[in-house]
Amino acid sequence: MKPSATLNASLPTAIAGLSERTVKAGLLVLLILAVGLAFVAKGYQLFQATMVVAYAIALVGLNMLTGYNGQISLGHGAFFALGAYVTGILMEHAAVPYWATLPTAAVVCLLVGYLFGRPALKLEGLYLALATFALGVAMPQLLKYKHLEAWTGGVQGIVLMKPDAPWGLPLTQDQWLYLFALAVAVVMFWIAHNLLQSGTGRAMRAIRDHAMAAEAMGVDNRHYKSMTFGVSAAYTGVGGALSAIAVQFVSPDSFTLFLSISLLVGIVVGGVGTLWGALYGAIFIMFVPNLAEKVSKAAPWAVYGVVLILLMFVMPGGVVGLLRKLQAWRAARSH
């Protein structure tokens, strides 16, 4: 047998062995480091970390839809904007506590996503992508609509106040908001993990792999595709709500089509169909465009194009796919 064949045959076993031994310990170490960051980083660095967490939650939602269910969306920035505006409107006009706006944003986005996803069932592939693209283009204009200005603030947007740490905790506003976002992310990732490991997650993947075969096995394609769209929108809405609290401002121009494309690029960079790839994708979204903008205002688009082309050839599985291959290769070498 060729060495390459031996390595390929040992990949699944190596990956499974590594995951059983190291995943829980690795996640615990990652969580400890993430919490420790609140006491090391300061000011703008903590703001960036909070935004990474917000983007990661949104990417988990989009990955459920695209990576696990096979539906392509080019307009998830609309749900990010909707979640942000639900939080902004509730905090500004109804004096709702910031933490209470998150479940409200999730429910609103879930309903809107389900209602959008239900008729979109008739569309697949590029046609669905174009429908969601239209949603992403239309959302900023809807937020500027004159009859909604009393609530949305029109082009002026809504200014929010950053929350103080509760219960007299000796934390700055930035520290508390980062830790709060981190706690929300832990809960959201846990829910997503359990969902994807359940019968619902298996039904989602079955539809992605072969919709006709899934339906023949008794899977209700219409129900699962609509609910996946709704849950995906809910996750993206929670990410948008957290970003609104962190930025302390929402306006239509903050949620352009570039945001929707950035989210799609994020799941490709992290790894399509992987839960933890959202973390790598969120880091990419947060830092790469900022670095590229220092070169030129048009540079982020060029960077995204180059990265996507390179990924198709070098890392088709994204960062997580590459790490899995490296881990499996090392495990196979040690045997």
Q: What is the 8-class DSSP label of residue 317?
A: T
pLDDT beneath 50: ranges in the chain: 1-18
**250: part of which helix (H) or strand (E)?**
strand 249-250
pLDDT at 50: 96
Fill in the amino acid letter for 116: F
Query: Which two structure tokens, joined as six digits, stand for 215?
Result: 């339906």
pLDDT, tens digit, for every residue of 34-51? 999 999 988 899 999 999
SS3 content of the chain, % helix, strand, coil (to 5): 80, 0, 20
pLDDT recorded at residue 148: 87
**Rounded-to-integer distance, Cα 314 and Cα 232, Å:** 28
End-to-end CA distance of the chain: 16
For 294-320, letters b (16+ CB in 10 Å) and e give: eeeeeebeebbeebeeebeeebebbbb
∠ CA 41-47-52 to the nearest 5 degrees? Answer: 100
Q: What integer pLDDT is reported at residue 22 of this predicted model?
A: 64
Give CA–CA dist 165/202, Å, rounded: 40
Helix (H, G, I), strand (E, B) or coil at 4: helix
DSSP assigned state of 74: S
